[in-house]
Amino acid sequence: MLRQFELVEKVAEYDPAIDENLLNKAYVFSMRAHGSQTRESGDPFFSHPVEVAGILANFRFDYVTIIAALLHDTVEDTVATLDDIKNAFGDKIADLVDGVTKISKLEFSSESTQQAENFRKLVLAMAQDIRVLFVKLADRQHNMRTLHYIKDPLRRKKIAKETLDIYAPLASRVGVQQIKEELEDLSFKEINKPAYETTHNRLKYLRASSAHPIEDIIDDLKKLLDKAGIQARIFGRIKTPYSIWKKMVSRNSTFEQLCDIIAFRVIVRTLPECYQSLGIFHNSFWVIPGRFKDYISTPKVNNYQSLHTTVMSPKHQRIEIQIRTEEMDLAAEYGIAAHWQYKQGGNAHDGKQYQLVCNLLQILEHTTNPEEFFENTKLEIYRDQVFCFTEKGEIFSFPKGVSVIDFAYAIDSWVGDHISGAKINGKPMPLKTVLQNGDQVEIITSSEQSPQSIWENFACTGKARTRIRQFIRSQQEQRMMQLGEKIIGEELQRTGINKEILNSRVFLSRFDCENINELYISIGEKIFSLEEVIACAQELAQTKQ
């Protein structure tokens, strides 16, 4: 566990704006607040927020984030209140702590609803300040490191599955590769221990038997670049157990058949040197067909940029080479944090400026059901990319399996609602057509067109599915409202009761309706029977007489 002065010194090394007194104060405040509390491991509870702060300090987060990490459990787990935090540390830090605290355990009608509601809170909190997400990711990372201390195996598996389903993909989407990989491996180890151990042992053997060849390959790559006058830093690493296992499953391959177990990272000075280095490697080694990816011209959704290629090394091993600049490497290591950690002033921490948050907020805006929101956002954060273009050359990235309908909604909600046809690479194609990398798509709209329920079968993105469901739901409500109005209108006319009585506040409150349209919908959907509505109307009519 980091001692107080060690943490302060660590943050001071990279954050010139540090308020050392405030950081010292937060350390002491958290230690006193947690007092004699212990974790399931038997360690002092205070060790947890310190470890979380240490994780974030390794990523060079500003001192405000580090303070929020130290305090993130005080409001939920101690007698300290949010007002105490506000009075001692100010509004900004209190808002961050509040954002993390809101993603806490609440009692809901079902476990799935609780998970969905907590995720909705996380999205709203990170929209206000993206640093909330990073504190939560670091919190989950340390909790996963100590997961084995939890005695209940079902509880361990539940936490591991939630981590693999939600937090690892979120870490990937904000570009924090290190956290993402550790969360995946720790979850994998708990969820499928036999598969983890088999893969881990094979990688361990490969690492032990390949130590010198990896160094030799690095030397070979470096000599080629030195000869061309390109200065580069080159690293070799064996990929993680979960990433290897996932590829074995998705490709239906054996461990021996995988060609990208070993990856070499080549970091050069300039963008032109990336492509120059690629040409040198392709001219010097046998290139494995279909294994080249240019993430520089078309970055991943988390803004990751790099050239990836797989070649046959002189030692007759298939190796993956990743080529990028120093700036790209910083973004690959720190993700969104690399974008703002050195940025001065402004709204660098406002979550609404990041595409991931904007996409999730759009889905949230049009979804009232927490579980439906959760389902659609899971689609949003699992994005194995396909890049497509409009006829004007604007580029969009999508998850694999995306259809023309998804493309239309990505352009604009109105365009999606009114799509009547499409051309892909100049040829008319059905709306259900699945798009491929590089497709150019022209959307044809008509003001007479509206979403159809069958569209949901072809939609892949959360935004498209949410908009389609919202429209179909509103159409159903409209039909039920018209039906209910007709049914009750005919009966009121037959019984001679004045229709105006339905608009009275007393009448509507009897049926817990805000307005008469809600009442019509409830009648149309047979939530209330015609008999009980007429009986109530007759009762109130007699009272007025």
The tokens for 319 are 């190796």
Residues 6+ apart with CB under 8 A from 440: 388, 389, 390, 391, 424, 425, 426
- Separation CA 69–CA 26 (nearest Å): 9
User: Which residue is associated with the tokens 């469901």?
Assistant: 469
Helix (H, G, I), strand (E, B) or coil at 186: helix
The tokens for 91 are 């509004």
Burial 12-38 (b: 16+ CB within 10 A, else e): eeebeebeeebbeebbebbbebbeeee
Contact 487, 524 (CB under 8 A): yes
Query: If you ran DSSP here, which 8-state letter would residue 464 be given?
Result: H
Pick the catalytic residue from 43, 77, 165, 350: 77
Contact 454, 439 (CB under 8 A): no
The tokens for 449 are 């067109």
Contact 474, 453 (CB under 8 A): no
User: Any long-range contacts for 435-439 (C-beta under 8 Å, 24+ apart)?
Assistant: 435/386, 435/388, 435/398, 435/402, 435/403, 435/404, 435/406, 435/407, 436/386, 437/386, 437/387, 437/388, 438/387, 438/388, 438/389, 439/388, 439/389
Pick the catalytic residue from 76, 333, 375, 518: 76
- Separation CA 171–CA 333 (nearest Å): 11
Burial 132-144 (b: 16+ CB within 10 A, else e): bbbbbbbbbbbbb
- Separation CA 98–CA 102 (nearest Å): 6
| CA distance readout (Å), 415 to 182, 404, 450, 534 | 41, 11, 10, 44
Helix (H, G, I), strand (E, B) or coil at 524: helix
Adjacent-strand bridge partners of 440: 389
Is 76 assigned a catalytic role? yes
Q: At what angle do helices 462-495 and 370-381 cross, to 10 degrees?
A: 160
Specify burial of residue 79 (Cβ count, 10 A radius: 0-12, 13-18, 19+). Answer: exposed
CA atoms within 13 A on the CB side of 232: 31
Residues marked as catalytic: 76-77
